[in-house]
C-alpha cells in the first residue's frame, strides 16, 4: 500500500483530510486510522501497514 492508496481508502469513509500542512494531515490520518481500527472496520494487518506508511511519510517530511 502507498500513501496515496491509504488516503483514497480513508476517503471511502467520507473523510477528506487536507489542512494545507502535511504534518497536520498526517496526524489527522493517524487518528482516523486508529478510529477505524478501534471500531473494527480495519484488521490488525491493515492497521500496522497504515501506521508504518504514515510514520515513513512523517519521517520524510521532517528531513
> pLDDT tens, 9-56?
999 989 899 999 999 999 999 999 999 999 999 999 999 999 999 999
pTM as predicted? 0.88
Cα Rg, the chain, nearest whole Å: 11
25 domain residue, yes or no: yes
Classify residue 10: in a domain, yes or no: no
* 62 pLDDT more than 90: no
- Is 9 part of any domain? no
- Interacting residues of 42 by C-beta distance below 8 A, sequence separation 6+: 33, 36, 50
Residue 63 pLDDT exceeds 90: no
Residue 56 lies in a domain: yes
Tell me, yes or no, whether 27 lies in a domain. yes
| CB crowding 16-55: b at 16 or more within 10 Å, else e | eeeeeeeeebbebbeebbeebbeeeebeeebbeebeebbe
| Residue 3 belongs to a domain | no
The tally of domains found in the chain comes to 1
Residue 57's domain comprises 20-63
**Is residue 8 domain-resident?**
no
Helix, coil or strand: residue 60: helix
Domain contains 7: no
Amino acid at each position: 500500500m502507498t500513501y496515496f492508496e491509504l488516503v483514497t481508502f480513508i476517503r471511502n469513509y467520507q473523510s477528506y483530510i487536507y489542512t494545507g500542512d502535511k504534518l497536520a494531515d498526517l496526524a489527522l490520518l493517524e487518528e482516523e486510522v486508529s478510529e477505524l481500527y478501534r471500531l473494527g472496520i480495519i484488521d490488525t494487518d491493515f492497521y500496522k501497514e497504515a501506521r508504518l506508511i504514515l510514520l515513513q511519510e512523517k519521517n520524510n517530511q521532517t528531513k
